[in-house]
Amino acid sequence: MRIIVTGCAGFIGSHLCEKLLHQEENEIIGVDCLIGPTPSLLKNQNLKTLLQHPRFQLLQDSLMDIDCNKLLQKADAVFHLAGIPGVRASFGHDFLPYTENNILATQLLLEAAKSAKLTNFIYASTSSIYGHKHGMVSEDAMPEPLSPYGVTKLAGEHLCSVYHKNFNVPVTILRYFTVYGPRQRPDMAFHRFIKQILLDQPLTLYGDGTQSRDFTYIDDCVKGTASIIQAENTAGKTFNIGGKERATINEVIGTLEQLAGKKASILYSDAAPGEPKHTHADISLAEKILGYSPDISLFEGLKKEIEYMKVILKGESI
């Protein structure tokens, strides 16, 4: 199977490519222009193992500049993970890259998918489209994004639905809930917290720490994502991809202190705009149709990310 993975050098994308290559029948063409909040040095590190694989090919370019019709001409499946992430940075004058990379690039890819003979087109979305919700959230909840980033991802979802309904593009939408683990973006909380506590620096905490998240370990995330190409009757459906357990940020910091063997100093800042107070994924639909079941506990996942960060901070190759 020839598979296109956009955003292949990113946190989730690089792990997904490695997962898909475990099946010998898969050939991956990865697309990434190495932009976004993750430095190109780390993205190149993410690609290191992939570039040594005989069934992986990197196309380092933007979807805005690529001939998407040619790219998808012989493809069997597309995993569209490329885009500009981040809630806080989407406010203000930096919104243009969000519209280009999250909306316009998605439309170009879907337009090419109209005439391609795809079995699957998987669009990576986010729990940010839900906004403030109370209790467990299912896929039929009313979207109410709180940030420009969430708006662009929801716009991408609507485009996917339009192309599915009008041209039968076999679109499946996945909404990720706070994915963490090795290779996590430097702007994300766990990466920042772990780096700060390992370097004996104060932890920068937005809000009072009582906000809670449904945390999804990266291996569970890519397991659920990759399962789409083996599952049946997923076209036109949306699935939450959540984790094994929820926790408050204060509880996470306590676990990090336990794992690092040191007490953290905390600098409190105002709560960031655009962030919901709580997230809680109802993953029953993914369990039923995809056979999805997260395995990694928060304690185990944080331990793995700490070990990764220790290597990164030493400047060693992974």
Active site residues: 149
* Tokens, residue 155: 């716009």
Contact at 8 Å (CB) between 243 and 215? yes
Q: How far is CA 305 from CA 1, 56, 97, 197, 241, in A?
A: 32, 26, 29, 13, 20
* Tokens, residue 163: 């192309």
Residues 45 and 6: their CA atoms lie apart, in Å, by 17
DSSP run (H or E) holding 73: none
* Tokens, residue 259: 């794992």
Residues 248 and 255: their CA atoms lie apart, in Å, by 11
Give the start-end residues of each E strand in the chain: 2-6, 27-31, 56-59, 77-80, 120-126, 171-176, 179-180, 203-206, 212-217, 238-241, 245-248, 266-269
Residues 318 and 316: their CA atoms lie apart, in Å, by 6
- What spatial distance separates the first Cα and last Cα of the chain, rounded to whole Å? 28
Q: Alpha-carbon torsion 163, 227, 127, 260, what sign?
A: negative
- The CA angle 145-149-152, to the nearest 5 degrees, is 85
